[in-house]
Amino acid sequence: MLSPSGQLPGVRTSLQLNAPKEMPAEEFRAHSRSVEDFRQYAIQHATSLGWYPGRLREPLPRNGTDRFLLDYELAENGYSVWEKMIGRMVDLANQTWSPLKVSLRQTLLNGISDWIHRYVTAMPVQGAKNLREGFHAGSLVLARGQGSGEQARNAVDLKDASGNSHRVEAVVCACGYEDPGWIKYNKGIFPGQIKPNASRWVGAPLNNGWGTAQAGNRVLFAGEAAAPTTAIPSYARTSIMQANFALDWINSHA
């Protein structure tokens, strides 16, 4: 699933612990000495997975409604080879590029920023509806924890700040690169500053830990907060508000 403009809520179904191995770590590291080498390697790898590299350079619609409708169409279509590759690429960049010298790391990041910002994963629209309904019904709770986890079959047990273990089945990365307006409330970053339905919000700001959304005792999704030591951070800011944003678009253009 894709959201080229970042207007649909994103979801990742794997962590670094169980990321797919289609892009070998050794090859990734060997081709991380220059931007030119890395981009050529990534395009060749995309071709091997059946993703036509020319799509990396196709222009996106300029009209905001058209951009959103493209997001909607791609998200509804489901699985994408690019999602499979980009998720693995981000995981490997976090592992491989973070220890590099700042100048080289920044050069590499700048060299692929157009890919990272353009193609982000997305959840089906029904998932956005479920998030919105759960939030307004008060059945979802966002809490802060520590970013440590242990793989358990097809899920991850995530330990919170108190040492309690939560079963995590998916990771939400709410990016929203193209239109960050939904992130800000009262000069703050959601959920640190939030006005709508504040009485139903039980969680804490996500600064240096994990955010988990729960319905009863079951963890529905989690996200890793940005950290200065991470090359390409995952974002756990505004999954529910982003779902509202997406559905507002659908309702206003139906």
Can you give the residue ranges of every domain in the chain?
11-118, 125-243
The DSSP bridge partners found for residue 155 are 152
pLDDT at site 46: 79
Please state the rounded mean pLDDT for residues 177-201: 30
Return the structure tokens found at 180: 């960050």
- Please write down the HEC assignment for all residues of 52-114: CHHHHHCCCCCCHHHHHHHHHHHHHHCCCHHHHHHHHHHHHHHHHCCCCCHHHHHHHHHHHHH
pTM listed for this prediction: 0.51
Please state the rounded mean pLDDT for residues 5-11: 63
**Vertex 70, ends 68 and 75: CA angle to 5°?**
95
Q: Positive or negative, the Cα torsion across 86, 47, 117, 26?
A: positive
Does residue 32 have a pLDDT over 90? Answer: yes
Q: Which amino acid belongs to residue 58?
A: E
